[in-house]
Structure 1
Amino acid sequence: MSATDTLRTGTLAVAGARLYHEVRGSGPVLLIGQSGEGDARRTADLVAQLADAYTVVTYDRRGLSRSALTDPDRPVTLADHADDAARLLAALTDEPAAMLGCSLGASIGLRLAVHHPGRLHTLVAHEPVSPRLLPTGERTRHERELLDVQRLYAARGLTEAMREIARVLGIDPTCQEAEPDLTPQPFTPRRVANFDTFIRRDFTAIVGDDLRPADLPGCGTRIVPAVGARTAPEVFDRRCADRLAELLGTAPVVFPGGHNGNTTHPRGYAATLRRVLTAAQR
């Protein structure tokens, strides 16, 4: 069995949790920070497209799936998530790594780049859910939206909350085009539990984040803003990516699909990501 096919798993003790992680492939280290409720298996199809050229690392964020919280009563912050990613990278490599961050994973990547210099040489930040990137009035409105989703979830359950999440992120559940021959991930009890953690804990972490956008241009990590081809320009996550690009004086890279293009278009997404990472190393 080749290194591309071999799956290596492990756990890492961090403050307040034990992180489960998976490693596949060989070559330079590429960490994938997942979106939403996604755990280490969220982007299995994408990982399969990248493992011939990269050592691809995925993990369950603290509180999701196999990454149990050792103090469930303690709030989770974006600082915790960034510290977790930094400690995971430190345990796996002595060299700066590349990172693909999708949605919340991109927000974690931005904080990692600023507060843990030297851990990343390149961050591809796909549609970060980072209200602090936006002008004050717009930021306040979107923070309120996230807190409203939490209240809706508490009052009316996951189905209603997911409809509102889709609206906020510009996801059309009735038009989810995808590459052929993909098997949709089933909506298991584990995913339901992960959505609970995502909405109750991570939404609060997003709203409470104190990221300083002015720190990003000089942080020492090459940050590549990214957007989905099908994400409407006016929605929250696309606005965050566009503002990040403006801050960095660049244009966002367009990836196939929409907000979840990493799962709906793994082949095209991987091809674009390879080009971006190759260009970043020139």
Structure 2
Amino acid sequence: MMESVLEVPGARLRHFVRGSGPLLVLIAGGQGDAAVNDALATHLADRYTVLTYDRRGLSGSTTDAPGPTLATHAADVSRLLSALTTEPAYVFGSSIGAMISLELTTSHPEQVGVVVAHEPPVIQLLPEPERAVAVQDLLGVEETFRAEGPLPALRRFAVFADIDPTDREPDVEMRPPGPEHLPNAEFFLTYDTPAVRTHALDLTGLKDSPARIVPGVGANSSHIWPHRCARLFAEELGLPYETFPGGHNGYRFRPRATAERLHQVLAG
């Protein structure tokens, strides 16, 4: 595995490359840094050149610019891809990572061959009163963060997203929180959660995109609104959706099964 840092406007992006084959970038959800995708990347590296990275403001990626938008994050991924390949890449993103991957697909369509967007929180597609519930869930997390701090806010987030660490493969170890955990959570809750809540995808641009777009849902998450968003997104674009192992965080808790399913989808 090779670790590098790329200078981009307003930030330095720490990223990692491993494996060989066509380029596949993994974009984590939540406050996840590159390490959250380590297990998934390891299971894919025999078939792909896997790129993982810390989003700006997280762990080894610094930023001195104003609060990032999803367009900022998409531009960062675009610059990482440009540094590594001239060919369209495979992209897999989950949750906010799925939103970033879709923003990348509309802003830099020439860089994306296939994008797998796992449970993107496309709140704009939810009918009322479901949309109001989703917005209030995110506002509630932001309010809890301001009133009580990052850990209670993350616990509230885990409730509505039904993050279940017990739904995992037997050899998946839950890392104890490191020194980056609280700063990452604070950055995510300060900037990225409001960015997701207020962002509107360019659905027309996605419909016109030359990329192959694959909406994904969790096998065990049909009761949460991000799953509902993904199905409505598939319906909006007139596409089938693909089911992946586990719940909203299946890529983290079921990396071996997710890698096999992702390979099936990409090869499909």
Name the TM-score class by shorter chain.
Answer: over 0.9
The yes-or-no answer on 1:17 pairing with 2:19 is no
Cα distance per residue 1:176-231 (max 9 Å; x no partner): 22111222122122112111111111012112323222322211111111111111
**Alpha-carbon distance, 1:136 to partner:** 5.9
**Alpha-carbon distance, 1:160 to partner:** 2.1
> Which of residues 188, 191, 194 in structure 2 aligns to 1:201?
191
Aligned structure 1 segments of 4 or more residues deviating by more than 6 angstroms: none
**1:222 maps to what in 2?**
212
Structure 1: runs of 5 or more not aligned: 1-6
Report the count of equivalent residues: 268
> Which of residues 200, 208, 222 in structure 2 aligns to 1:210?
200
Q: Is the 8 A contact 1:124 1:226 kept in 2?
A: yes
**Alpha-carbon distance, 1:16 to partner:** 1.2
Q: Is the 8 A contact 2:150 2:189 kept in 1?
A: no
> Which of residues 172, 181, 189 in structure 2 aligns to 1:182?
172
Q: Hey, what's the Cα distance between the residues in 2 that align with 1:180 and 1:136?
A: 40
The yes-or-no answer on 1:236 pairing with 2:225 is yes
Cα distance per residue 1:59-84 (max 9 Å; x no partner): 0001000110123xx12101100111
Q: Is the 8 A contact 2:17 2:52 kept in 1?
A: yes
Q: Is the 8 A contact 1:127 1:227 kept in 2?
A: yes
> Which of residues 134, 137, 158 in structure 2 aligns to 1:142?
134
Q: Hey, what's the Cα distance between the residues in 1 that align with 2:64 and 2:108?
A: 24
Q: Using a 3 Å threshold, how does the CA distance of structure 1 residues 95 and 136 change in structure 2: closer, same or farther?
A: farther
**Alpha-carbon distance, 1:28 to partner:** 0.1
Aligned positions of 1:2-151 closer than 5 A: 7-71=1-65, 74-135=66-127, 137-151=129-143
Q: Normalization by structure 1: what TM-score?
A: 0.91
Structure 1 range deviating more: 11-20 or 203-212 = 203-212
Q: Hey, what's the Cα distance between the residues in 1 that align with 2:133 and 2:107?
A: 27
**1:4 maps to what in 2?**
none
Aligned residue type for 1:47: A
Q: Hey, what's the Cα distance between the residues in 2 that align with 1:192 and 1:53?
A: 34
Q: Is the 8 A contact 2:245 2:254 kept in 1?
A: yes
Cα distance per residue 1:130-180 (max 9 Å; x no partner): 31232365334422321221111111123321221012213246xx22111
Q: Hey, what's the Cα distance between the residues in 2 that align with 1:157 and 1:195?
A: 10
Q: Hey, what's the Cα distance between the residues in 2 that align with 1:190 and 1:99?
A: 25
The yes-or-no answer on 1:257 pairing with 2:246 is yes
Q: Normalization by structure 2: what TM-score?
A: 0.95
Cα distance per residue 1:66-112 (max 9 Å; x no partner): 110123xx121011001111111011100000001011110001111
Q: Hey, what's the Cα distance between the residues in 1 that align with 2:42 and 2:203?
A: 34
Q: Hey, what's the Cα distance between the residues in 1 that align with 2:256 and 2:180?
A: 26
Aligned residue type for 1:161: A
Q: Is the 8 A contact 1:133 1:213 kept in 2?
A: no
Q: Hey, what's the Cα distance between the residues in 1 that align with 2:56 and 2:238?
A: 33
Q: Hey, what's the Cα distance between the residues in 1 that align with 2:169 and 2:203?
A: 35
> Which of residues 254, 263, 267 in structure 2 aligns to 1:274?
263
Structure 2: runs of 5 or more not aligned: none
Aligned residue type for 1:225: P
Q: Hey, what's the Cα distance between the residues in 2 that align with 1:111 and 1:137?
A: 26
Aligned residue type for 1:252: Y
**1:169 maps to what in 2?**
161
Aligned residue type for 1:115: S
